[in-house]
Each structure stands twice: as structure tokens, then as C-alpha cells.
């Protein structure tokens, strides 16, 4: 579209053209002009009029500012709750139409008016209050109070309202009919007062023991939720019970400013009782369960006029207060044991306080290792002051977030005290930890103790890898002859020397490599040229690499590193495809860009390496009929898949090269769970690369044509194919996915697995793999071991993020075992086969 418009755009013309377009007055007009020489009388009159108008306008503005602006009033709503101690709860108070509700509500509003009248700040601006609900205990009332405040005075009223919260202790006052305690109020979130709401809905659910109720957004699951709507669900349980809210689906717009859900530990939207705000998409594999502190909970949902998503569905049930699921603390004894926050790995309830006393055999000390630690909330982003939710170990407060829990605490005696505290607002998933009895004199028997006090195998010390996570195993090292000695005291494996990556952190491993001096640029062919030659329009490197990524995205001479546009021009920008900018000028670098995106928004994940549903919608499971999953593949178009050639080689028993052998599952997440998102297809054609070498795995790539096209959905989408020149630099992070074995020689995964690995320098990889790496192969992995593709992942994607898309960097091909130290996974380099893919598939 952009490119069609181009012809209509304004293009600056030369000075000459301007001259041509100037119109000179005809000579006959000259006389009229002569009569109007100088400003003259008319000019003076116009000047006076304009001046008067300006003065009048300014005076008006000043009068408005000093007089009327004071009268510009702002509507401000406060939500609150308070306990009425001299009343007993009646069932009729649950029904806002009952006469009992209305009578008590009348008394409450009268009393609120009296309370506000005692504060000069509040009485002046108070408009009205409405009671929203009552709940047990004696009676708790939830209300909204409206104020009309002159602009600029809001803070003063907020202060007066918050001092009311403190006043509650001095209540009751003489003459009050209701005895009031525990007043909590705060200003209502302004998004809930949006004037754009056209619909307000309110639902009440009173759960029963041993029964599960369901709440959902309007239209779910058949249609998207409605725009401009504000909905509340007031949830109640019996006294002595608490509410459990479990979301099985949560799919809202990503931006919480537009559409959001808020959950409160209250029956009215009080800011200091908000438990969580949710928007975007949450995978069903991520537990999203909340529990209240009392027998009420409020769920609110607000939507605006744009982008309406499928919505949410949640199950509401009640659990007895004090049940195992919601209690915590106690005495823990023995050599070893576990402890966790209440409801872990679900969100802990607000207003919780627990205390554990750990006691191990005399003469030993307690070592507590956190496996997961998630205690963050707005206002407590850094883990220093811990004024909100925290864990306290022998008096030391811990808070914030450590998703992979590398935290260890050790006691000085055989006893340890652990406390957990959650305040009234914002909850998180909490923690789980293991305690062990250790010998203080030898806290890590036959192992190395990290600074963090965790223990690692002794042979990992000074091996070049940060096994402790705090580098303490790599400091003050005596380097072995086969490693590089960094100036900062670390040792690094020799094969990292001169690989272009600063592994020491102080550059030592890249010194004396015959590389380029400072002020010089290293060309792709390792030649050195002055930095000044970068983007000077001349190919100083000889391979064109000094003319790449120039600020002016100039057209340059084509070579193997430059991106070639449809119009055969070459541009200097690296990886210009589908980045949202028309770099070619003919739109060709932004064509065919419906690829590489998933609906998934990353959110915190507890446990495992399961992928999220729809996170890698191009991932395909290739099944051999009546056997099951054998290989992975990637969707590149509605009819074509890319896989590995070694997946489609016949063996003595199975004709893997025959299309009829296979059935293909698209949109699959869990093996054998064929839900409505999954599409099954047969194959029409299998095209292995003609140069595939089954001894060396060179050219390990194949194409598969489906018997009929698939319709794209949130679960089925193509990955982006990289241009032949696409650069996947060493050290960049890429994703591997598949249902392959979860350890070498192990069994296949049921849920689609994902892992992050890094691209490894080609020559380093070739050294590690004894010279077996051809230019059609790419290496990726984590050289410390432990993360890798494995049997059954073959043919699947190596997905590389670029902007907000994923490109197919590689196809899982082979490796020396799985996840071994210094043995990366080997992938087929897709860029090398871009032309072949185009030739065979047209994609
Ligand atoms: C396989 O057999 C396989 N570690 C795939 C990848 C790797 C090893 C084996 C890489 O399909």
C-alpha cells in the first residue's frame, strides 16, 4: 500500500521550478497598488482593533483563571469498607433489594455524612454515598462516597480521607447509632470512572461448600467480550470459608490500560485491597489461582472500545479456613524437609502471617535453599527494604523475585526461624524451599561452597563456567595449562581464545589474536580497516562488510552479505526483512511478513520448561501412522513444512520417504491431546535435499507438502524464513522446541518443551566437534551442558527472535549425545537453503 501511494507523494522540486510557479501581478494592477502605499489610516485602524482584541482575550483568560477556574470541579470517588460492631449479619443483607439492606444502608449513609461533616475538608465537597454490599463479621459494609472537589484540591481531600482511616480507632462517637471500626478507604482507580463505559453489569455469586461455580466474560467462549463495559462479580462464601478463584482461560488485550481484570480481597474496589491486575494472555499450563483472606472477593473487568479478545472463564469455590491448602508454619524437625508459602505454586492469600521453627540434630546447622522465590509487588520492585510481602529468616528479611531460586540461608545454630508475611494488597506465587542439616565445619562435603553458600561439584571450580551463578567458583583460580588465564583471575577454556567474544570480561582472551587494533574495524573476512572507512561508500574490506548497517540506508553494490531487494537493488541494512520499515523502497523487504508471531505474551512461569499454548505456533509434530511422534517440523506456508532430511530416510522397516507413512499434527501442544486447536493433515509430497549426506548429516533439510492447506489460527502460524544474507550472530539467544527426549537416552516429552540456547561461533564449534561442522551447519547450545535438543526434536525449528518476530535460523539435525558439556546441538543453516526452498515451494 505504501508503495502504491508513493507516486502521489510530494517530492521537493528544484529552485527553478519554484521560480516558474511564481505569479507576477499584471501591469494593470500597479495603480491600485500605488494607492495603498505605507500603512495609511486603514492600517492604523486594523492595528488598534487587533491590539484591543488581544488585550480583551488576555484579560478574559486571567479572569477565568483566577475566578472561574476555582469553580471547575472534579468528581472524585472513594471506595471504602468498615466494620459495624453492634449489628448482626442477616441473610437479607446480601440482597440489595431487601428492606433490611435498604434500612441498614440508609443508616450507614447518614452516619458517613455525619463523619464527613466533622472534617472541614470533606464536608465542603461531599456529595453522596452509596452502599455496595454487606458481608459477615459482625457486619462489614462496602461503600462508595462521591466528592466534588475544586481542581487542584484533590490531594488535600485524599489526606483528609486517609486520616479518617486512622480516626476509626476513636469511634464510636456519641449519638452514632452504628458502632464503627476498621475504616479503610481510598480513591477509586480513575479507569473505573471512565465516561466511555456504555454498560455496567453486576453479578453476585454465593458459593456453596463442595460446589464449583463458574464466572466468565460476556460472550465467552463463542464471541469476544463487549466493548466499553464495566462488570463486577461479587463472590461470597460461608463464614469460616475463604474463596478460591481459578482461571482456566485468560485471554485479554495485552495493554492493561485498555482492557483489564482486577481481583480484590473485598466486595468493593478498594485500592489497598487489590490482589492482582491481569491482562493479556495466560497459558492454561500456568496456574492462575487466587485465594481470599476472608469470605468475600470481587472481580472487576473493564473494556474499552478497541480490540476485544475472547475473555476469561474462572471457577469459584470455597475452602474451609484453616484447611491444609491455606495454612502454613509449625515445627519442622529432622535432617531434611520442605516448606512453602500457603497455596504454592498458586498465589498466596493476602494478610497472611506464618512462622516455621526448624530444628535439626544438635551439632549441625540449618541450610535453607529456596527453589522458587516470587514475592514482588508494585512499590517493592527492588528487594532491599521489604516493607510489603516478605520472608524473614532468622531476622533477615527477603523479598522480590528470584524465579530460579538461587538463594541459600544458613543458621548459626541447629535452629532456624522462618516467617512469611503478606500485606493486604498484591499477592504473588510465593516460595518453596528445602532445609537440610549440615555440618558447619564442612558445609559442602567433597564439594565447593559458593559465595551464595550453595554447593557445587569440585571439578566445576575454575573450569571457565559460572556454575555458582555469582562467579565465585571462577575467582582466584590457578589456571590449568589447557586454559586461558584471564587478567582478572579467571580461567576460560582454550577454545574461546580469539573467537571474537570477550569471554574473560576484561578482553584478555581476545588480545594477541592478530585481530584489529583499537580504532579499527574487523571485517567479516577478518581483515582490519580503519573505523573511518565504515560506510564511506567504498568496499575497503573486500567483502563489503565495512559498508553494512550504514546510517544512511544507501543502495550499495550487491555482494553475498547484502540484502537484495525485488528490484535487484542491494541495501546496507543487516536483516531488513519484516522489521516494519520499507528499506528497499519497493516494499519487497516487507512483503510476505505474516509470519513469526505468536499471540503469546510472556509472563512469569513457575516450573519446568513447558512451552505455553500457542507460543510456537509453527511447531509441527510428525507422526508415523499408528506409531506416534517421530520428528518435528516447521510451518512456512499453508501447505509447506520444513523438516530434516534424516527424518525422511527409509530404513529396513519403514518407508519414511513416502508421504503416506506420515500424519502431521499442527497446533498441537500435548501429545495425544487432540483438542479443537489441533489440525491433522496427510502429506502429498516429501522432498529431501538431493545432497543430503547420511554419513556427515550435511544438507540435512527436507520439505513436506500437505494434502490440503491449513487455515491459520492463534495456534497454527508460519515462522519467518530468513533471507540468504540474514545474520544470526554468535552469542545471540535462540529457542529450541520439541517433544523429543528430556534427557539423553530418556523418553519423549508429552508437553511441548522449549529452551533458550545461544548461537556458537562456527570455528569454535568446529574445534569442539572435531572438524565435522560444514558451512551448511550451525551450532547452538549452552556449553556448560544441560540444555539441548535431543532425539525426537529432529526436524524441528531453531527459532531466532528479531524485532517482534521469530525467524527460522536452523533445523534440529544432530549432536554428540544430548546436553553434554562442550557439545553443542547442530542445526541445518536455513539461510543456505533459502533459494532451494523458494525453487521447490514458491514460498
Ligand atoms: C536426534 O537423535 C538428535 N543434541 C537431535 C539433536 C541432538 C542429538 C540427537 C542434539 O534426533
Average pLDDT over residues 619-646: 95
**pLDDT score at 775:** 94
Which range, 59-68, 589-598, 779-788, has the best average confidence (pLDDT)?
Answer: 589-598
**β strands within 162-212, DSSP E:** 180-187, 199-206
**pLDDT score at 71:** 66
CB 133 within 8 A of CB 202: no
Which overall architecture, per CATH, does domain 619-841 show?
Beta Barrel (2.40)
Q: What cell does 460 get?
A: 566445576
**pLDDT score at 552:** 59
Q: How many CB atoms lie within 10 A of CB 605?
A: 15
Length of the chain: 843
CA atoms within 13 A on the CB side of 712: 17
Confidence of residue 168 (pLDDT cuts 50, 70, 90): low
**Closest C-alpha to 354, from 329, 332, 389, 333:** 329
Average pLDDT over residues 521-525: 80
List 700, 726, 788, 793, catalytic entry: 700
The CA-atom distances, in angstroms, between 164 and each of 158, 181, 307, 487, 633 are 10, 11, 41, 63, 64
Confidence of residue 41 (pLDDT cuts 50, 70, 90): low
Write down the domain spans for the chain.
73-188, 192-317, 327-443, 458-510, 522-591, 619-841
Q: Is the pLDDT reported for residue 6 higher than 50?
A: no
| Tens-place pLDDT, residues 419-469 | 999 999 999 999 999 999 999 888 888 899 888 788 888 888 887 777 787
Average pLDDT over residues 575-590: 90
**Closest C-alpha to 288, from 326, 252, 244:** 244
Higher pLDDT, 329 or 504: 329
**pLDDT score at 23:** 27
Residue 818 beta carbon below 6 angstroms from any ligand 1 atom: yes
**pLDDT score at 756:** 86
Average pLDDT over residues 359-378: 91
Which overall architecture, per CATH, does domain 73-188 show?
2-Layer Sandwich (3.30)
| Tens-place pLDDT, residues 788-798 | 999 999 999 99
Residue 793 beta carbon below 6 angstroms from any ligand 1 atom: yes
Beta bridge partner(s), residue 528: 522
Confidence of residue 40 (pLDDT cuts 50, 70, 90): low
Q: What cell does 392 get?
A: 524473614
pTM for the whole structure:
0.63
Residue closest via CA to ligand 1's atom 1 equals: 791
List 646, 669, 689, 726, catalytic entry: 646
Average pLDDT over residues 753-773: 90
Average pLDDT over residues 348-370: 94
Question: Which of ligand 1's atoms lies nearest the C-alpha of 740?
Answer: 11
Average pLDDT over residues 542-571: 82
Residue closest via CA to ligand 1's atom 11 equals: 791
**pLDDT score at 738:** 94
Q: How far is CA 824 from the centre of its chain?
A: 28
**pLDDT score at 51:** 75
Range from 117-131, 202-216, 234-248, 443-457 carrying the lowest mean pLDDT: 443-457
Q: Is the pLDDT reported for residue 594 higher than 60?
A: yes
Q: Is the pLDDT reported for residue 547 higher than 80?
A: yes
Mutate to test the pocket of ligand 1, among 631, 791, 826 (most ligand atoms within 8 A of CB): 791
Q: Is 816 a catalytic residue?
A: no
Give backbone dihedrals phi and psi of 33, rounded to 5 degrees, phi first. Answer: -65, -40
Which overall architecture, per CATH, does domain 458-510 show?
Irregular (4.10)
Range from 163-177, 200-214, 252-266, 364-378 carrying the lowest mean pLDDT: 163-177
Higher pLDDT, 548 or 606: 548
CATH code of 327-443, in short, is 2.60.120.290
CA atoms within 13 A on the CB side of 342: 28
Q: How far is CA 655 from the centre of its chain?
A: 43
**pLDDT score at 285:** 62
**pLDDT score at 606:** 25
Distance CA 289, CA 244 (A): 7
**pLDDT score at 18:** 29
Residue 409 beta carbon below 6 angstroms from any ligand 1 atom: no
Residues 6+ apart with CB under 8 A from 243: 207, 235, 236, 237, 291, 292, 295, 296, 297, 316, 317, 318
Residue 814 beta carbon below 6 angstroms from any ligand 1 atom: yes
For the four alpha carbons of 117, 121, 127 and 132, in that order, the dihedral sign comes to: negative
Residue 790 beta carbon below 6 angstroms from any ligand 1 atom: yes
**pLDDT score at 38:** 42
CB 797 within 8 A of CB 722: no
| Tens-place pLDDT, residues 633-680 | 999 999 999 999 999 999 878 899 999 999 999 999 999 888 899 999
The Å distance, Cα 842 to ligand 1 centre, comes to 29
Range from 69-73, 260-264, 763-767 carrying the lowest mean pLDDT: 69-73
Phi-psi region of 334 (alpha: psi -120 to 50; beta: other; left: phi over 0): left
Q: What percent of the chain has pLDDT over 70?
A: 87
Distance CA 449, CA 466 (A): 13
Q: In what helix (H) or strand (E) does residue 455 lie, and over which residues does it extend?
A: strand 455-457
**Closest C-alpha to 313, from 295, 330, 346, 288:** 288
Q: In what helix (H) or strand (E) does residue 64 lie, and over which residues does it extend?
A: none
Confidence of residue 518 (pLDDT cuts 50, 70, 90): confident
The Å distance, Cα 498 to ligand 1 centre, comes to 29
Distance CA 148, CA 72 (A): 9
Distance CA 731, CA 562 (A): 22
Confidence of residue 404 (pLDDT cuts 50, 70, 90): low
List 272, 340, 376, 794, catalytic entry: 794
Q: How many CB atoms lie within 10 A of CB 543?
A: 17
**pLDDT score at 66:** 53
Distance CA 817, CA 725 (A): 31
Whether 619-841 and 73-188 are alike in CATH topology: the answer is no
Cα-based angle 472, 474, 475 (whole degrees, multiple of 5): 70
Beta bridge partner(s), residue 631: 622
Confidence of residue 477 (pLDDT cuts 50, 70, 90): confident
Average pLDDT over residues 388-393: 95
CB 809 within 8 A of CB 801: no
Prior bond of 172 cis (ω within 30°)? yes
Residue 630 beta carbon below 6 angstroms from any ligand 1 atom: no
Cα-based angle 460, 788, 647 (whole degrees, multiple of 5): 150
Beta bridge partner(s), residue 245: 290, 316
The Å distance, Cα 766 to ligand 1 centre, comes to 17
Q: In what helix (H) or strand (E) does residue 491 lie, and over which residues does it extend?
A: strand 491-493
| Tens-place pLDDT, residues 90-143 | 999 999 999 999 999 999 999 999 889 988 889 999 999 999 999 998 999 999
Average pLDDT over residues 252-267: 91
Q: Is the pLDDT reported for residue 718 higher than 80?
A: yes
CB 161 within 8 A of CB 183: no
Residue 715 beta carbon below 6 angstroms from any ligand 1 atom: no
The Å distance, Cα 787 to ligand 1 centre, comes to 12
Distance CA 675, CA 659 (A): 24
Residue 234 beta carbon below 6 angstroms from any ligand 1 atom: no
Collapsing DSSP states into helix, strand and coil, what is residue 721?
Answer: coil
Residues 6+ apart with CB under 8 A from 222: none
Residue 311 beta carbon below 6 angstroms from any ligand 1 atom: no
The Å distance, Cα 793 to ligand 1 centre, comes to 7
Q: What cell does 349 get?
A: 492469600
Confidence of residue 61 (pLDDT cuts 50, 70, 90): low
**pLDDT score at 43:** 62
Q: Is 700 a catalytic residue?
A: yes
Q: What's the N-to-C CA distance of the chain in angstroms?
A: 21
Q: Map 603-647 to HEC letters.
A: CCCCCCCECCCCCCCCEEEEEECCCEEEEEEEECCCCEEEECHHH
The Å distance, Cα 329 to ligand 1 centre, comes to 46
The Å distance, Cα 461 to ligand 1 centre, comes to 29
For the four alpha carbons of 160, 162, 167 and 171, in that order, the dihedral sign comes to: positive
**pLDDT score at 394:** 96
Distance CA 685, CA 535 (A): 46
Mutate to test the pocket of ligand 1, among 790, 820, 826 (most ligand atoms within 8 A of CB): 790
Give backbone dihedrals phi and psi of 490, rounded to 5 degrees, phi first. Answer: -95, 160
**pLDDT score at 504:** 83
Average pLDDT over residues 241-262: 91
Collapsing DSSP states into helix, strand and coil, what is residue 809?
Answer: strand
Q: How many CB atoms lie within 10 A of CB 642?
A: 29
**pLDDT score at 44:** 66
Confidence of residue 28 (pLDDT cuts 50, 70, 90): very low
The CA-atom distances, in angstroms, between 194 and each of 130, 189, 239, 400, 764 are 19, 10, 35, 33, 59
Distance CA 697, CA 765 (A): 15
Q: What cell does 823 get?
A: 557439545
Higher pLDDT, 614 or 162: 614
Q: Which CATH superfamily is domain 192-317 in?
A: Spermadhesin, CUB domain (2.60.120.290)
Rounded mean pLDDT of the chain?
85
Q: What percent of the chain has pLDDT over 90?
A: 51
Beta bridge partner(s), residue 316: 213, 245
**Per residue in 662-689, is it b (16+ CB within 10 Å) or e — as a string?**
bbbbbbbbbbeeeeebbbebebeebbbb
Give backbone dihedrals phi and psi of 797, rounded to 5 degrees, phi first. Answer: -85, 150
Q: Is the pLDDT reported for residue 804 higher than 90?
A: no
Amino acid at each position: 500500500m505504501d508503495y502504491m501511494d508513493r507516486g502521489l507523494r510530494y517530492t521537493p522540486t528544484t529552485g527553478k521550478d519554484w521560480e516558474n510557479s511564481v505569479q507576477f501581478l499584471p501591469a494593470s494592477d500597479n495603480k491600485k497598488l500605488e494607492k495603498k502605499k505605507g500603512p495609511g489610516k486603514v492600517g492604523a485602524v486594523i492595528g488598534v482593533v487587533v491590539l484591543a482584541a488581544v488585550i480583551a482575550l488576555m484579560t478574559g483568560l486571567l479572569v477565568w483563571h483566577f475566578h472561574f477556574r476555582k469553580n471547575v470541579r472534579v468528581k472524585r470517588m472513594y471506595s471504602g469498607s468498615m466494620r459495624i460492631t453492634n449489628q448482626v449479619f442477616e441473610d437479607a443483607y446480601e440482597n440489595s433489594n431487601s428492606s433490611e439492606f435498604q434500612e441498614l444502608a440508609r443508616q450507614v449513609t447518614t452516619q458517613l455524612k455525619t463523619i464527613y461533616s466533622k472534617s472541614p475538608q470533606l464536608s465542603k465537597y461531599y456529595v453522596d454515598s452509596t452502599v455496595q454490599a454487606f458481608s459477615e463479621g459482625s457486619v462489614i459494609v462496602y461503600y462508595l462516597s462521591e466528592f466534588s472537589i475544586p481542581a487542584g484540591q484533590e490531594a488535600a481531600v485524599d489526606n483528609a480521607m486517609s486520616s479518617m482511616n486512622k480516626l476509626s480507632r476513636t469511634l464510636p462517637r456519641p449519638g452514632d447509632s452504628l458502632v464503627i471500626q476498621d475504616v479503610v478507604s481510598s480513591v477509586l482507580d480513575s479507569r473505573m470512572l471512565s465516561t466511555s463505559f456504555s454498560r455496567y453489569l453486576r453479578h453476585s455469586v454465593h458459593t456453596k461448600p463442595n460446589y464449583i461455580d463458574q464466572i466468565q466474560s460476556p460472550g465467552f467462549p463463542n464471541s469476544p467480550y463487549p466493548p466499553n463495559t464495566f462488570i463486577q462479580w461479587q463472590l461470597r462464601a460461608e463464614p469460616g470459608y475463604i474463596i478460591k478463584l481459578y482461571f482456566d482461560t485468560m485471554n485479554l488485550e495485552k495493554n492493561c490500560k485498555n482492557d483489564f481484570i482486577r481481583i480484590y480481597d473485598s466486595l468493593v474496589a478498594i485500592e489497598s485491597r487489590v490482589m492482582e491486575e491481569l491482562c493479556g494472555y495466560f497459558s492454561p499450563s500456568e496456574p492462575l489461582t487466587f485465594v481470599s483472606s476472608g469470605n468475600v472477593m470481587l472481580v472487576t473487568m473493564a473494556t474499552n472500545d478497541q480490540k476485544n479478545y475472547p475473555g476469561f472463564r474462572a471457577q469459584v469455590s470455597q475452602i474451609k479456613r484453616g484447611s491444609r491448602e491455606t495454612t502454613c508454619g509449625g515445627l519442622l524437625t529432622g535432617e531434611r524437609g520442605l516448606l512453602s508459602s500457603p497455596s504454592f505454586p498458586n498465589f498466596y492469600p493476602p494478610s497472611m502471617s506464618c512462622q516455621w521453627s526448624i530444628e535439626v540434630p544438635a551439632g549441625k546447622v540449618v541450610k535453607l535453599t529456596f527453589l522458587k522465590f516470587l514475592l514482588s509487588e508494585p512499590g517493592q520492585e527492588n528487594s532491599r527494604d521489604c516493607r510489603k510481602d516478605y520472608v524473614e529468616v532468622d531476622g533477615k528479611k527477603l523479598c522480590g523475585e528470584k524465579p530460579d531460586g538461587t538463594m541459600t540461608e544458613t543458621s548459626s545454630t541447629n535452629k532456624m526461624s522462618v516467617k512469611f508475611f503478606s500485606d493486604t494488597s498484591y499477592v504473588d506465587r510465593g516460595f518453596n524451599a528445602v532445609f537440610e542439616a549440615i555440618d558447619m565445619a564442612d558445609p559442602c562435603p567433597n564439594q565447593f561452597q559458593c559465595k551464595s553458600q550453595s554447593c557445587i561439584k569440585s571439578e566445576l571450580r575454575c573450569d571457565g563456567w559460572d556454575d555458582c551463578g555469582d562467579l565465585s567458583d571462577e575467582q582466584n583460580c590457578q589456571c590449568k595449562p589447557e586454559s586461558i588465564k584471564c587478567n582478572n583471575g579467571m580461567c576460560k577454556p582454550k577454545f574461546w581464545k580469539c573467537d571474537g567474544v570477550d569471554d574473560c570480561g576484561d578482553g584478555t582472551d581476545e588480545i594477541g589474536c592478530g585481530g584489529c587494533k583499537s580504532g579499527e574495524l574487523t571485517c567479516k573476512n577478518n581483515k582490519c580497516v580503519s573505523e573511518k572507512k565504515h560506510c564511506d561508500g567504498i568496499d575497503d574490506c573486500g567483502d563489503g562488510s565495512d559498508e553494512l548497517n550504514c546510517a544512511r540506508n544507501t543502495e550499495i553494490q550487491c555482494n553475498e552479505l547484502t540484502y537484495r531487494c525485488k528490484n535487484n537493488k542491494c541495501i546496507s541494512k543487516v536483516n531488513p526483512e519484516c522489521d516494519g520499515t520499507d528499506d528497499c523502497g519497493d516494499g519487497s523487504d516487507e512483503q510476505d511478513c505474516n509470519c513469526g508471531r505468536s499471540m503469546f505474551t510472556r509472563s512469569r512461569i513457575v516450573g519446568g520448561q513447558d512451552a505455553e499454548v500457542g507460543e510456537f505456533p509453527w511447531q509441527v509434530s510428525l507422526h508415523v501412522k499408528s506409531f506416534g511422534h517421530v520428528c518435528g517440523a516447521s510451518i512456512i506456508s499453508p501447505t509447506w513444512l520444513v523438516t530434516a532430511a534424516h527424518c525422511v530416510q527409509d530404513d529396513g522397516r519403514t518407508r519414511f520417504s513416502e508421504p503416506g507413512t506420515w500424519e502431521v499434527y499442527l497446533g498441537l501442544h500435548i501429545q495425544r491431546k487432540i483438542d479443537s486447536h489441533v489440525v491433522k493433515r496427510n502429506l502429498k509430497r516429501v522432498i529431501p535435499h538431493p545432497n543430503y549426506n547420511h554419513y556427515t548429516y550435511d544438507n540435512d533439510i527436507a520439505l513436506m507438502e500437505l494434502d490440503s492447506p491449513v487455515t491459520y489460527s492463534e495456534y497454527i502460524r508460519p515462522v519467518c524464513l530468513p533471507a540468504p544474507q540474514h545474520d544470526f550472530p554468535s552469542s545471540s539467544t535462540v529457542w529450541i522446541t520439541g517433544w523429543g527426549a528430556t534427557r539423553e537416552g530418556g523418553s519423549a516429552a508429552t508437553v511441548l518443551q522449549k529452551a533458550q540456547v545461544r548461537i556458537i561461533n562456527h570455528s569454535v564449534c568446529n574445534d569442539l566437534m572435531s572438524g565435522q561442522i560444514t558451512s551448511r551447519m550451525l551450532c547452538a547450545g549452552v556449553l556448560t551442558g544441560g540444555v539441548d535438543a535431543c532425539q525426537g526434536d529432529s526436524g524441528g525449528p531453531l527459532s531466532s527472535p528479531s524485532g517482534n518476530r521469530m525467524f527460522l535460523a536452523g533445523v534440529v539435525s544432530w549432536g554428540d549425545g544430548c546436553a553434554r558439556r562442550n557439545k553443542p546441538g547442530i542445526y541445518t543453516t536455513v539461510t543456505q537453503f533459502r533459494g532451494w526452498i523458494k525453487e521447490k515451494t514458491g514460498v
